Amino acid sequence: MENEVDKHYSSVVADEVAQQPNPVVLTSPKTDPILPPQIWDMVFEYLSKNDLEAVMKTCPEWNLLLQSKKGELLFPKVLSCMGKRLSRESALVCRLVNKECKSVVEQEHPEILQWVFMQEKIQEFAVIANHLSNLQRVILEEFEMLDANAVVEGEMRGRLEDGGV
């Protein structure tokens, strides 16, 4: 367990250091009992996004510990606050970031889903039109074949009648 904690602690510190211009020392708030930051980090893995956001706002120590998760926790909410302030071009790019961002952008810019719906219908109509066109071609071919048969039949009947005469 000790090795696992040390390993985990190293990765936490490495992540946090990578995010900061200057190396930071992570500390824990005064709780009873006091737990080191790497243990809090393990505990936080079990929390939902809303709970993590509340934790982040509880004290400066936990805020620093969750620094690397801020984007994941706050960005979708920021997009929601921005609403129509976000241009259509930017909204479309944000729609590609992840599922949560896509959902938020579609709520704030409902016209996007309308366009997508319209385009899907256009494509469905195109498929139906293609089928109809194929059907029309087949029917015409059948008619042409019937006509051709009728001509052949007529000719044969004529010849038979001529022969009979």
Partner 1 sequence: MALVRVISSDGAAFLVSQRLAKRSGKLKTEIETFRKSSDNSEAQPEIRIVTIRAEILRLVLQWLQQHQNDPVLPANQNEQDGRGDAEMGQSQWDRDFLAPMDLGIVMELILAANHLEVKGLLDITCKLVESKITGRTVDEIRTAFKLKSDFKGNEEEQTRLENRWCVEN
Q: How far is the CB of 7 from partner 1 (least distance, A)?
A: 22
Residue number with CB closer to partner 1 (92 or 126): 92
Residue number with CB closer to partner 1 (84 or 164): 84
Residue number with CB closer to partner 1 (9 or 75): 75
Geometric angle at alpha carbon 42, from 37 and 44, rounded to 5°: 90
Q: How far is the CB of 93 from partner 1 (least distance, A)?
A: 6
Residue number with CB closer to partner 1 (25 or 96): 96
* Residue 43: Cβ-neighbour burial (10 angstroms; 0-12, 13-18, 19+): exposed
Q: How far is the CB of 20 from partner 1 (least distance, A)?
A: 10
Q: Is 141 strand, coil or helix?
A: helix
Contacts of residue 42, defined as CB under 8 A and 6 or more positions apart, other chains included, come to: 8
Residues found near partner 1 in the complex (CB under 8 A): 19, 54, 56-60, 63, 67-72, 74-75, 77-78, 81-82, 84-90, 92-102, 112, 115-116, 118-119
Contacts of residue 100, defined as CB under 8 A and 6 or more positions apart, other chains included, come to: 76
Q: How far is the CB of 126 from partner 1 (least distance, A)?
A: 13
- Asked if residues 81 and 105 have their Cβ atoms less than 8 Å apart, the reply is no
